[in-house]
Structure 1
Amino acid sequence: MFASDSCIIEHDWFTAALTFGLCCGLIISYLPQHFRIIHAKTSEGLSPLFLLLGSTSAASSLFNILTMQSGLLKCCSVVSGATCLEISAGIVQLSIQWVMFSLIFVLYMRYYPQHLRAVNKDIQVQTLDTLVIVKSSEITQEWKWSIVLSWVAVLHFILCAFTTAFVVLTSNPEPGANTPLPPLAYSWARFLGVSAAILASIQYTPQLIHTYRSKLVGALSIPMMCIQTPGGVLMVLSIALRPGTNWTSWLTFAIAAVMQGMLLTMCILWKLRQKKLGIDDFGVPNQPAGIEDGTPTVIVTQPSDSPVVSSSTEPISEQTPLLGPR
């Protein structure tokens, strides 16, 4: 047992209300991305490396605050349930962050396009008197890469969970809000915080490169980013105001908010470009107007950004040239 004097908690209703609002906002903000992947039945356009970095960064932040507040959590045995919930709200907040982002990774693997998982190949086999062509399928490198990265994310979480439990149990931090952490626990928390910040700083780089090269929005959800980008500022403020935290706990979210703002800007620009070219978020041409009103329409592809559409009211026959006059 320990003295309850070290567990005197000052109630901060502003921080508690802010954290509660952010927890609700986190859930609401991620739902458009989950719904978009499920509704489109494809995760094309998402970078698996971006999802790995995001899930490992969120996991590192979660175990960072678990270690930093390990002494504070011991006070739950001597304070009321409401107070315990208040002092552990930051952990709940980061837990929601990790669960909601990791769910995107799960949906990415579940709805990975079938035509991108394997390619069909014709293998020629020479027998004594004939040449036999055998059809086979081969897993694509992109799908193999996605499987490897998903397992890396799982192993990272398990390793961090066991290490955090070992450090907290062996170092046995003193209970209280302002009691210093033992050197081992503090070093582990600092490592997690710095690694989370590094992962967050490069998290959006693969997705920015992927989206820039494809010049398509893909399965990315613009509404999610519109909610989360300004919400990142509130997230930083909420974590920074919590007892038992320092800059290593909120730096990751500050960097992520800036990078996400860059990705949001790029997606908006590509959305405008897609509208100009008459294609959807996955590069598929929108249905031409001629198909709906019965007007014969011929679509001609040329080596340029803009698709050329040639419409004619004359009857089409076998002698009708496919390419009109230039």
Structure 2
Amino acid sequence: MSSPLPTECPATHDVPTLVLSLILCTGLIISYLPQHLRIVNAKSSEGFSPWFLLLGATSSASGMLNLLIVQWPLFQCCRILSAGRCFESLLGFYQVTLQWLLFTIILVLYLAYFPKHLKYQRVMPLSSDIDQTYGSTAENTEEPLVSRSRVTVSTTPEWRLAITLGIVVFVHLSLLFLLSISLLLTLPTTVPPHPFLRYLATFLGISGTVLAVLQYAPQIHRTYYTKLVGALSLGTMVIQVPGSVLFVLSLVFRPGTNWTSWLAYAVTGGMQGALLVICVLWKRRQKRLGIDDFGHPLNSPPSLANEEHRPLVNGD
């Protein structure tokens, strides 16, 4: 591939945009850190909706790949720009990639710290099955039939759903990343991009927006009806809700971006604000009822509070 002409590459040094992007990248890390630490310290990811994590991970991945395509000429310009100017021109892509990475870490922690009392369940045959199996010998033994039945421990539908959705996230990212890279390396780099690349970028932007609109719906529904904050971090949301405004503005004024690149983040910020309001209301309700974020009485001994959530089997 031939190197781009100097006139095709950014020649200005936008200090305000550079400072804003660096602040946003730092703020992203600071905002997600309370959520990561909350799950690790509580050793539980209870309260999260797996559909929320699926939609969030796929939405942020679509946004990252969208920006990769629309800013691909800037990647080509790094062949003739200095390292510092290259880094500055790609800060918008770094922001979106960091957003995807930090959210995906929540998904990984969700699976790693999935509550054991929600992961396993005891499976017992129906009474009709017991009668058919032991009916002929029931009169000759004093052992209860229930103890003779085949009681097994299996995974719950919720845990199997979580694993399935995790696989879907991985497949989604892998396929779209391979498709995007293949087209970018095969088709010529032009401004505006090749029609195929424009169609793919638009698809990624629109699908990312749709997924972002749907992302918070299952989490809002779950949090609203459980009336518990769970493992959600209010600190993360308090930082991210106003930060999303700056995040969107930084993308709007970035060269090489369009509405498909920032609309998903604008929608996500608005719905996250709604979730924050619900969590604040439930936090006050929990304080009034004397329970913690997981519904345990605050004044009861730890052994009694954890009795309901004791795992059915030992080990990982």
TM-score with structure 2 setting the length: 0.88
Q: Distance in 2 between matches of 1:205 and 1:6?
A: 42
Post-superposition Cα deviations, 1:146-165, rounded to whole Å, max 9, x if no partner, equal 11111000101101110111
Partner residue of 1:151?
Answer: 167
Alignment of 1:231 with 2:243, yes or no, is yes
Partner residue of 1:258?
Answer: 270
Give the secondary structure class of the aligned counterpart of 1:134: coil
Higher relative contact order (CA 8 A, sep 6+): 2
Which structure has the highest helix share of the two?
2
Q: Distance in 2 between matches of 1:122 and 1:197?
A: 44
Alignment of 1:240 with 2:256, yes or no, is no
Post-superposition Cα deviations, 1:221-279, rounded to whole Å, max 9, x if no partner, equal 00000000000000000111110000110101100010000000000000000001110
Q: Distance in 1 between matches of 2:208 and 2:224?
A: 25
Segments of structure 2 that go 5 or more residues without pairing to the other structure are 139-144, 302-316
Q: Distance in 1 between matches of 2:250 and 2:37?
A: 27
Q: Distance in 2 between matches of 1:197 and 1:149?
A: 19
**8 Å Cα contact 2:252/2:259 also seen in 1:** yes
1:160-179 equivalences under 5 Å are 160-174=176-190, 179=191
Post-superposition Cα deviations, 1:201-223, rounded to whole Å, max 9, x if no partner, equal 11100000000110000000000
Partner residue of 2:280?
Answer: 268
**Partner amino acid for 1:170?**
T
Radius of gyration: which is bigger? Answer: 1
1:111-190 equivalences under 5 Å are 111-123=113-125, 124=130, 125-126=133-134, 128-130=136-138, 131=145, 132-174=148-190, 179-190=191-202
Q: Distance in 2 between matches of 1:157 and 1:8?
A: 30
Q: Distance in 2 between matches of 1:9 and 1:214?
A: 54
Deviation of 1:48 (Å)? 0.4
Deviation of 1:133 (Å)? 2.1
Q: Distance in 1 between matches of 2:124 and 2:167?
A: 31
Segments of structure 1 that go 5 or more residues without pairing to the other structure are 292-326
Q: Distance in 2 between matches of 1:110 and 1:263?
A: 24
Alignment of 1:27 with 2:26, yes or no, is no
**8 Å Cα contact 2:45/2:114 also seen in 1:** yes
With over 3 angstroms needed to count, the CA separation of the structure-2 counterparts of 1:74 and 1:271, relative to structure 1, is same
Deviation of 1:112 (Å)? 0.5
RMSD of aligned residue pairs (Cα, Å): 1.3
Paired residues, what number? 285
Q: Distance in 2 between matches of 1:224 and 1:150?
A: 23
Give the secondary structure class of the aligned counterpart of 1:120: strand
**Partner amino acid for 1:164?**
S
Partner residue of 2:309?
Answer: none
Partner residue of 2:76?
Answer: 74
Partner residue of 1:10?
Answer: 12
Deviation of 1:121 (Å)? 2.7
Deviation of 1:72 (Å)? 1.6
Partner residue of 1:99?
Answer: 101
Give the secondary structure class of the aligned counterpart of 1:279: coil
Partner residue of 1:193?
Answer: 205
Give the secondary structure class of the aligned counterpart of 2:150: strand
Q: Distance in 2 between matches of 1:94 and 1:6?
A: 23
**Partner amino acid for 1:222?**
L
**8 Å Cα contact 2:17/2:250 also seen in 1:** yes
Q: Distance in 2 between matches of 1:69 and 1:169?
A: 14
Give the secondary structure class of the aligned counterpart of 2:12: coil
The structure 1 segments of at least 4 consecutive aligned residues displaced by more than 4 Å after TM superposition are: none
Post-superposition Cα deviations, 1:22-79, rounded to whole Å, max 9, x if no partner, equal 0000011000000000000100000000000000000000000000011121000101
**Partner amino acid for 1:31?**
L
**8 Å Cα contact 2:10/2:89 also seen in 1:** no
Post-superposition Cα deviations, 1:103-157, rounded to whole Å, max 9, x if no partner, equal 0000000000111111113333427524422221122111111111110001011
Q: 1:221 aligns with which of 223, 228, 233?
A: 233
Partner residue of 1:322?
Answer: none
**Partner amino acid for 2:247?**
M
TM-score with structure 1 setting the length: 0.85
Q: 2:51 aligns with which of 49, 62, 85?
A: 49
